[in-house]
Amino acid sequence: MFRTALGVVAGVLVGALAGLVAAHGTWSASTSVNAGIVTAGDYDIAATWSGSTPTWSALLPGTVREARLEVSSMGEGTTLGWRLHVQAAATGPLAPYTVTVARECGAGVIIGASGYPVSGTLPAGAAVAVCVSTTLAADAPSALQGQTGTLQITVTGRQVLE
């Protein structure tokens, strides 16, 4: 019976403590920033040949063929600045003897490894006309006569982060 009485007392104490914990509160105040939703921008580019896709046939040593590529950017970004990069990769037996150069058609600025423009950036929505020219080397061997190859042009718009 004594143990039962102890149990009852302990139970009462635990109940009292639980009541104390539940009643313990703290003041608190919260407030939210008065602002709405901000959205990330978007960015993409498109490139199309001016006219039909060029087919450069009957290239002779030392001759140059050129085509115009229209590059446009889409999307929006409040602080977005970008540069245009153009890479050319030739395949097949002609590859070692071809040189491909990309220029901005207006001022003729060569689009090199640092992209276009060389300094500064293009804004979102800007368009660039790119003139792509390929030259078959003057010393191309006669064994290349009648050979074919492909030229792949990769246009990249890259956000400037420096």
Partner 1 sequence: MTETALRSRTRRPARPSRAKGITAIAAGAVLLIGGGTTLAYWTASRSIEAPSIAAGDLNLTLGEGEWTLDGVVGDAVTVTSLADVRLVPGDVLALSQELDVTLVGDTIEAVLTADTAGMFVGDDADAFDVQFAVDGDPLGEGITFDSEDAGRHTVTASIRFDAGTPDRERVGVPIDLSKIRFTLTQASS
Structural contact between residues 157 and 45, judged by C-beta atoms closer than 8 angstroms: yes
Give the footprint of partner 1 on residues 117-136 (CB under 8 A): 121
Type of residue at 6: L
Residue 4 binds partner 1, judged by CB under 8 A: no
Query: Residue 26, interface with partner 1 (CB under 8 A)?
Result: yes
Q: Is 40 in the site for partner 1 (CB under 8 A)?
A: yes
Six-digit token string for 121: 């950036």
Chain positions 65 to 84 lying near partner 1, rule: CB under 8 A, are 75-81
**What residue type is 2 in one-letter code?**
F
Establish if 162 lies at the interface with partner 1 (CB under 8 A): yes
Q: Does 57 bind partner 1 (CB under 8 A)?
A: no
- Judged by CB under 8 A, the residue of 35, 58, 107, 113 near partner 1 is 35
Q: How far apart are CA 86 and CA 84, in angstroms?
A: 7
Residue 20 interacting with partner 1 (CB under 8 A): no
Smallest separation (angstroms) from partner 1 to the CB of 110 = 23
What SS3 string covers 59-89?
Answer: CCCCCEEEEEEEEEEEEECCCCEEEEEEEEE
User: In angstroms, what is the minimal distance from the CB of 38 to partner 1?
Assistant: 5
CB-count exposure of residue 88 (10 Å: 0-12, 13-18, 19+):
middle
Kindly list the residues in this chain that would bind partner 1 in the complex (CB under 8 A): 24, 26-44, 75-81, 121, 159-162
